[in-house]
Every structure is written in structure tokens, then in C-alpha cells.
Amino acid sequence: MPACAARLALTVLAACCALLAGCQSLREEPPSFPQSGSSTPRPGQPPQPVSPQAGQAGQATPGSPEAAQPPAQPPRPAKQYRLGAASSALVAQAHKQLVGGDFGLAAATIERAMRIEPDNPLLWIELGRVRYTAGDVSQADSMGRKALALATGDPQAQALAWRLRADSLRSLRRNEEAADADRRAEGLSPR
Amino acid sequence: MVVIVATVYGFYLNREVTRQFEGRRWTLPAQIYAAPLELYAGLTLPLGDLEHELERLQYRKVDKLDRPGTFRQQGSRVDIALRPARFSDESRGASVLSVSANATGIEALRDSGGKDVPIVRLEPLLIGSIFPTHGEDRIVVTPQDVPPLLPAALKAVEDRNFDSHHGVDPAAIARAIWVNLRAGQIEQGGSTLTQQLVKSYFLDSRQTLGRKLHEAAMALALEAHFTKADLMNAYINEIFLGQDGDRAIHGFGLASRFYFGKPLSELDLSEVALMVAVVRGPSYYDPRRHADRARRRRDLVLKLMAERGVVRPADAEAAARKPLGVTTRGGGTYYPAYLDFVRRTLHRDYRTEDLTREGLKIYTSLEPRAQDQAERALEQELERLDHAKKYPGTKLEGAVVVTSPQSGDVIAIVGSRNVGYDGFNRALDARRPFGSLVKPFIYLTALESGRYNAATIVQDEPVSIKLANGRLWQPENFTRQTYGPVPVVRALAESLNLATVGVGMDIGLPKISATLQRFGLPRAPAEVPSMLLGAIDVTPMEAAQMYNGLADGGFRTPLRAVRSVISEDGKTIRAFPLQVAPLATPENIYQLDRMLEQVMVRGTGRAAHTMLPANLVVAGKSGTSSELRDNWFAGFSGSHLAVVWVGYDNNLPTGFTGSSGALPVWARLMSGLGTTSWNVTMPDSLAETWIDFSTGGLVEAGCAEDAVPIAVPAGTEIPIRAGCRQSGVESIVKRAGEWLRDIMH
């Protein structure tokens, strides 16, 4: 019973602390740590499962009844990135500038679009293509990597990014990596 | 003999005058422009803010659009008569644009024919120029840029017979003497415009009879060689019209910007009259310092213009009723810290002479809205902190750097709380201990080792390390307590020193030093254990470069203020294109950034939520150096990164921490940027899971009050926190039952 009372008291205390923390104005020093009474060991609770080799990842041995893997992620619905109206217009303008041979201008125009949609992998692929055409293949490959990092969940965009990387890597004479990039592109979106 | 001397003198004058006048290229300081505001459907920019942006560019609100530089509002639509504009990549003529907007932003843009336009830029704001020290600054105008009233007014007031005299006007001299004697003050000068031009061009201002005669002879020679139109144009670009510190304001083009903040072509009658009034004595008739004097002189100019038939008397009277209309100085358009950064960037590539003479146009990334917001946030919060401070009479100082992480654009820099004054630029030059801002780089190195993740239990326990000098190093937590076994996410979110030192020593100082330098620390830090608590001096700009890599998904994007340099004839002579280089895997950065998100939810950054829009996801880290001398906060959203430093110039302890000193500045700034949530899609090889914040045990989302989401490599096994791990729907029922049982027990 005393353990129970103590726990109840702690619960109430924790709730109060949480409320206080919520009302915490910026004008005050944040409460000293720990907050919400969260780090004080709670009486009446079983000892926390601490890994025997603290400081190591994968602490619990596989198969241990006390360990589990995070639940499998539900399959992500496939995304499909598109360009907004403003970006589309700018990309079209950049393509004209590219035909005219003005790589710098074309790149600057795509950068304008990127300021509007910085997370759109299609724009990074566009900029990578401009760099590739201009002969800056190392930047083209980096833009491909950046596009890949943004294109998670969109196989079409990923395939475009891998193809950009494949072309760039081939120009860099990194043929094995280029072939691998091609295979990945093909796997995501067969030509 | 006299004839010979006169002939030789005549030849000399002729040669001198033609050589100087024809060979004269005005030294054209480079002009520096802010980023142009892009308007497009979907832009978050309420109508009120659009109007504010137009007013910043000195567009006038009118009932009926009459000329470029005006706009009108009709319900939810704003029609803008755009000025002709030159951008870094193209020029555009004047045109009319209709903007439809709702409460949150722009819905559609249409041209004068009602056709939809996808995107339109407003012209970039001129934010400064690079003039030589103690030198002339000017914006050269062509005759088409000059409102016809200006030469007419100059002639009416300064030189009535300009069109007919040969450079000197004896009648004017006699009349001036007579008028001035009668009035008891200088109302008229006897010098022709040509003589004034000669004086400004060739001679100094000593008033001796010999000089006067020489000046007159040169004026005659000038008149013999050049047309009146050439001379008037030269006068309009040459004449001295004001002083701004070291900077001499020459020509009406710049003077119009300097006094009214708008192009010369848009000046109205009263403004033209004021400019002509100032010609007589830019210091004596300074409209900012001696408004009454300037106003009397302006009204006199208006009277003379009416008397001499330049304007109708009724118009002159109406203009005389208007206020002077000059802008306040430093009023939001002078950004010395940013210009300082621009100059330093350019000095790597250009000689000073090129920058001050060649008429370059420099296009930068400055976003005036963000800059104003950063300045206000720093000023207001430091004002408040000063009231609560320890040292009366000593003022806290601060610095702010704001970037767009993906593009590497530096969009705002504040180098001091006195935002309008050119002085010590703390954003670039204050090198201060990094404090806990170093911790994310330690944990990133730990993630990269493959031996740590957000749920890994680390020991927050007393540390005692024997240093090379034989002394013991025994750091403490900020609270002077120890917390025992805690998960990494908590050690970072609560900035636990002892746990971090343990991780850092396990990983090794050389690896951490390498990470710091990879992210942009320009010097190798001393590899001593105190490095793990941020005994590394960095400037706010360096901190911004390093954190930009965390905000930009693990890519290095060199921060840039200058986008391009355009020559006088419109050619791009230098571009600073966007560049990226991978610094860390997207997976490791994602795991780290999710932990930095917890800093803002549960850790030392959580107080920011009282100021930030609800549901805005941000990530960041506070930092405080020893004895609270330096307060840092570095944090980012999906579209902005801001680094704030607060401290005393003399390095006194502030009494504040990163959370109480720098964080409020950061939060106030971010709340006004219209920023978007940090929202990166989790890489496929990671899994999101929930753990107990205190113990690191695996729990279900929402199971415990302390449950926090983390990202770990898929397949990572995490010990289950007892009593808080079920699966499926039944678990809620079960959990409720357990809770009841616990309570009743």
C-alpha cells in the first residue's frame, strides 16, 4: 500500500510538472533537469532493463524475451513528385537557355525554382543534368545523390536520379559504380 | 606678349577641358542588391505583407495606376505597375501585374491582358554600394531617367540664362550681388551651372579671385566644346548632394535614393524642389538634420519655379504644403553586417579599385523580410534580457545568421544589436566557445561508428580523466547531478555532459575532430577531452556552416551571400553557383535530426514552443559555455536554419544559458519567418519506433507519458520496457486494465 500511495503521488507530481513545463514561459530558465520527475527511479517498478554492455548498440541478445525489434514499417504508398506551376515554367525556361548553350543561366534559372521547392528531387535532377551537360560531372553526381536522399518513396524520381548518377560516374570513369547505378535505375523503373 | 600668353593659356585650357571631360568616366561604385521577391501562385504572402514589400521598394499606393512604381488595392486584388527592372539574368520593361490573394497567400497572377502568369519577380532592393574610403558614391542616370522638372528647376533657381550664356553670366553675377544685399542673405548665386560643374570637376573649393577667374575661363572652354544637354547631364550626375559618414553622395540619381529611397524618375514636384534646395548647401540644408531650414529653402525654390513659369502657381502652392518626405536613415534598408560579408566575399576575387570604379552590379541572397525579422528579434529579446541582467551599464550583445539550408543562401546577418551601425561584426568575427553546440557532431560520429543508436543506453556518471599535464579533469552536468543509465536521445536532448563525455571518449577525439572539420570547422581543434564540451572557438557564421550540413540532410553546401556579379554592360562576370557535396549518409543524419527534434519537444529547446506556431516541427541544440559566458542556439525547420549567439563583448558571465538567452531570440525570429516544418521522409533502411525517454525501453506509441519517437536502423533490437509493450488493439484495453490495477494495488 505505501508503494501504491507513493506511485499515485508521483503520478500527480509528474502531471503537475508536465503542466508547469507546458506553461513554462521563455522568460524563465527551463526547470532544472530532470523534468517531469522522469529520471528518478520510480519506487515499485521493476528495475529498468539496462544493457549489460552499456554504450553498445544492439544491447539485448537476439531472441532474448526482453528484447524486440521495432515493428515492421507498413509499406509506404508510392509517392510521385511533380513540379509546381512556377517551377515548371522556370524549368521550361532553363531548357531553352540550355539549348542556347548558356549553362550558367540555365542553372541560375533552376536555382530560382529550387528556392520555391527546395525539397523536390526533380529539380535537383534537372540541376544535375545542367551540370552534367556543362561538364561538371562531379557536381552532377552529388546532385544525383542529393536527389536520391529526397526521393525516398518515389521510384520514378529515384530511377531518374540513379540514371543521372550512372552517367556522371561513367564520365568519372567509375565504371563499376556506374553499372551498379544503372542496375538500380532499371530495377526501380525499367526503361 | 600678352597675346602669346593668352593663346598658350587658351590652348592649355582647351586641352585640359576636353581631356578631362571626354576621358572622364565617373567612378562607379558597385551596387549591391537584395534577392528579388518572387511572386507565384501558392506563395504564402498575405496581401498586407505584399503591400509592405511594395512599400519597401517605394511603390506608392494610389487610387488609379498612373505610372510605374505605383499600386492599387481592390478587394482581394492588388494591381501593380511594375517598374522596368534589371536582374542578374535578364531585363524587364515596365508592365502591369494583377495579384489575387486570400488571407494566407497568392492565388493567381495575371498580366494586363488577363492572362495567367506563373511567376514574376519584383525588382531587387538596392541595399548598398561599395565606394572608396572617403569617396564618392553615385548612381549614374541617363537623360531618360531624369524627370523634366529637375533641369527646369535647376535652371530657374541656379542659372536662369543657362540655355543662352557661354559659360559665365555677368548679368547673373550682378543680379546675385544686388538680390543678396537686399535680402540680407544668400538667396542667389552668380555662378552658372557650368561654373559649378567646373568647380566640382577640376578645382578645389578655395575661393580666391585667381581661382574664380580660372574657373570662369574653364567654363567658357567647356561651353565651346560641348552641348548644353551634355553639360546638364554631367551636372546632374556630378554635383555633391550630401554626406553619409565616409560616403559622399554625388549626383541626383543616388541623392534621390539617399533622401527618398526611390528612383529619380519617380520624384514629384515637392521632392524635386527639395533636391534643388539641397544643391545650394548639402550640409546647411540637410533635410534630415535641419528640416526647417531645408523646408524654407524648398518653398523658396517652389516660389521661384512658379515665378519663372516652370510650374503653375497653384501646383507650387500645393507642393509647398507637403511634408519633406525624406526617409529616416538606417530605416531598415541599411544592413552593414550583411554588406560586410558581401565585401569580404568579393575581396577574394576583386581588387578594391574594380569594386569602387567599374559599375558592377552585385546580386546577393539577402532577404529583407528575414533580415528585418532577425534584427527585431535580437533587439527586442536583448532589451528584455538586459532588464534581468547582472551588470547594470553593460549591454548584452548578440549575433544572428539565417540561411536557406538547401541552397546555402545566407539570407540574413545581424552583427550587433545596434543593427544600423557599421562596427564589430560579431556574426563573422566573434570567435567564442562552441559549448554544447558540439554535441550533435559527437553523437553523429557515434552513429557512424555503428555501435550507437538513439536507444543505446549510455552512462551519465562522474567522469575523471587524467590530462597530459597530469591534472584530473572532472566535468559536471549543468545541474551538478548525475542521471545514471539514459538512452542517447535523452543524453542529447537534455544536453547531459557526463554521458556525452563518456560517448566521446569511447569514440575517440580524433574521429570527432574529423567530423567537426568535415562539417566546416576551419581549424583543427585541440584534441583534449574538454573539446567534448565545446572548448572550441567558432564564429556564428562558422557554426551556421556546420549546422547547415545537419539541416541539409548531410550535404555540404557552401554558404553564400553573393549569387552573381554583373558588369556594367550586363554580362555575368562571376557566378557563385549552388554546390553540394555529401558529408554523411542520409540515414545517419536522419537519425540525428530526429533526436534534435526531441531537443525541441522534451529537451533544452522546448520553451521555444510557446512562441512558435503550433505543429511546426523544428530541430535544434542549445549551447552554453563555461560560467554562462556564451549562449548559443542553433536550429532549423524545413526551410530555414538560424544560429544565435548572445554574450558580453568583454566576456563576462551572462547569467543566462543557451535556453534562456539565445533560444528566445531564435524562437522569436523563427516564428516570424513563415517557415515550414522539418519534414524529411525517413530513409528506407530505418525504422521508427518509440522508447521511454528516461530509460530507453521499447514502448508503444503513447503508452507512457515519456514515450518518444526515434529512428533506428531497421532490425535494431531494443530491450522492452516492462509493462509497456503490447501489440494490436487489445493492448489498449490491457494497458487500461494494468493501469487500474496499478492504481488500485
DSSP string for B420-440: TS----HHHH--EE-GGGGHH
- Tell me the pLDDT of chain B averaged across its residues: 88
Residue B159 and residue B169 in contact, taking contact as beta carbons nearer than 8 Å:
yes
Residue B203 and residue B215 in contact, taking contact as beta carbons nearer than 8 Å:
yes
CATH of the domain at B240: 1.10.3810.10
Q: Which residue among B91, B108, B123 closes a domain?
A: B123
Same domain for B169 and B269: yes
Query: H-type helices in B585-729, by residue range?
Result: 586-601, 663-671
Range picked from A32-41, B130-139, B393-402 for highest mean pLDDT = B393-402
B418 is a domain residue: no
Which of B 342-401 lie inside 8 A of A, CB atoms?
Answer: 384, 388
pLDDT at A74: 59
Tens-digit pLDDT profile for residues A12-57? 444 443 333 333 333 333 333 333 333 333 333 333 333 333 333 3
Could you identify the residue written with the cell 526531441?
B598
CB-CB under 8 Å, A60 with B712: no
Same domain for B178 and B241: yes
CATH of the domain at B98: 3.30.2060.10
The percentage of residues in chain B with a pLDDT greater than 70, rounded to a whole number, is 93
B650 is a domain residue: no
B200 is catalytic: no
Whether chain A has a CB inside 8 Å of the CB on B503: the answer is yes
CATH of the domain at B502: 3.40.710.10
Same domain for B200 and B287: yes
A189 pLDDT band, cuts 50/70/90, is confident
What's the whole-model pTM score?
Answer: 0.81
B205 pLDDT band, cuts 50/70/90, is low
Question: Which of B158, B215, B381, B597 does the annotation list as catalytic?
Answer: B158
CB-CB under 8 Å, B503 with A67: no
Domain that holds residue B296: 129-320
Q: Give the mean model confidence (pLDDT) for residues B265-280.
A: 93
B315 is a domain residue: yes
Nearest-CA distance B38 → chain A (Å): 9
pLDDT at B153: 94
Range picked from A134-148, B175-189, B223-237 for highest mean pLDDT = A134-148
Which of B 603-632 lie inside 8 A of A, CB atoms?
Answer: 604, 606-608, 610-611
Tens-digit pLDDT profile for residues A46-101? 333 333 333 333 333 334 446 677 665 556 667 899 999 999 999 999 999 999 99
Same domain for B266 and B152: yes
Report the relative pairing of strands B581-582 and B630-636 from DSSP bridges.
unpaired
B630 is a domain residue: no
Residue B575 and residue A108 in contact, taking contact as beta carbons nearer than 8 Å:
yes
CB-CB under 8 Å, B721 with A85: no
Q: Which residue among B535, B560, B582 closes a domain?
A: B535
CB-CB under 8 Å, A18 with B572: no
Of the candidates B388, B453, B689, which has its C-beta nearest A57's C-beta? B453
pLDDT at B628: 83
B610 is a domain residue: no
Tens-digit pLDDT profile for residues B20-29? 666 565 667 7
Question: Which of B88, B256, B404, B436 does the annotation list as catalytic?
Answer: B436
B158 is catalytic: yes
Rg (CA), chain A: 27
Q: Give the mean model confidence (pLDDT) for residues B299-323.
A: 94
pLDDT at B426 over 90: yes
Instruction: Write down the domain spans for chain A.
Output: 85-188
Superfamily of domain A85-188: Tetratricopeptide repeat domain (1.25.40.10)
Q: How far apart are CA B713 and CA B426, in angstroms?
A: 40
Same domain for B94 and B147: no
Q: Give the mean model confidence (pLDDT) for residues B554-558.
A: 95
Which of A 104-163 lie inside 8 A of B, CB atoms?
Answer: 104-105, 107-109, 111-112, 114-116, 118-119, 127, 139, 142-143, 145-146, 148-150, 152-153
Tally of structural domains, chain B: 4
B618 is a domain residue: no
DSSP string across A105-147 = HHHHHHHHHHHH-TT-HHHHHHHHHHHHHTT-HHHHHHHHHHH
End-to-end CA distance of chain B: 128
Tens-digit pLDDT profile for residues B612-647? 998 999 999 999 887 788 899 999 999 999 999 999
CB-CB under 8 Å, B660 with A26: yes
B219 pLDDT band, cuts 50/70/90, is confident
Contacts of B117 (CB under 8 A, 6+ apart): B97, B109, B110, B111
Whether chain B has a CB inside 8 Å of the CB on A100: the answer is no
B582 is a domain residue: no
Q: How far apart are CA B136 and CA B130, in angstroms?
A: 10
B514 is a domain residue: yes
ipTM for this model: 0.82
Same domain for B54 and B112: yes
Same domain for B289 and B177: yes
B336 pLDDT band, cuts 50/70/90, is confident
Q: Which of B300, B284, B125, B718 is nearest to A58 (CA)?
A: B718
Q: Give the mean model confidence (pLDDT) for residues B300-328.
A: 92
